[in-house]
Amino acid sequence: MSFTELTEAFFTKSAGWEAVKNARSLLAGGKVISSNWTPPLLKGVVAEGTSSYRAGLVIKGPVDIDNLCTCRASREGGVICAHSVAIGLHHVLSNKPAPRGRCRGCRCPPGL
């Protein structure tokens, strides 16, 4: 059975707060080019400086995770890097339903 639920809390627990903080910065800066989640494979592309990283994770379980990024932190430190986390957060945010507000020009209550 594979792990299928991606959340910000999952990334914080598995990668740590510093990776999530840096991933949020990449995401806010528009550096995540693409993301795709087909369990157990999360993959995408992140641009940083003059480089772009094809990054992602193979998530077999909550603690059984392989990082696919080729960045230095991932290769040398063996950590789950901000690039792969940014791809995950991009996917999570792009699949959230849009907030429902008031219709334009009408007086119906929010959410209708």
pLDDT in tens, 27-57: 999 999 999 999 999 999 999 999 999 999 9
64: in domain: yes
Cα–Cα distance, 53 to 72 (Å, whole number): 11
62: in domain: yes
Q: Is the pTM of this model over 0.85?
A: no
Half-sphere exposure of 67 (CA within 13 A, CB side): 24
**Choice among 9-13, 27-31, 44-48, 92-96 with the minimum mean pLDDT:** 92-96
85: in domain: yes
User: What torsion do the CA atoms of 7, 10, 15, 16 make, to the nearest 10 degrees?
Assistant: 100
φ, ψ for residue 85, nearest 5 deg: -65, -40
SS3 70: coil
Q: What is the pLDDT of residues 63-78, one digit of tens each?
A: 899 999 999 999 999 9
Residue 60: domain span? 8-94
27: in domain: yes
How many structural domains does the chain have? 1
Cα–Cα distance, 4 to 1 (Å, whole number): 9
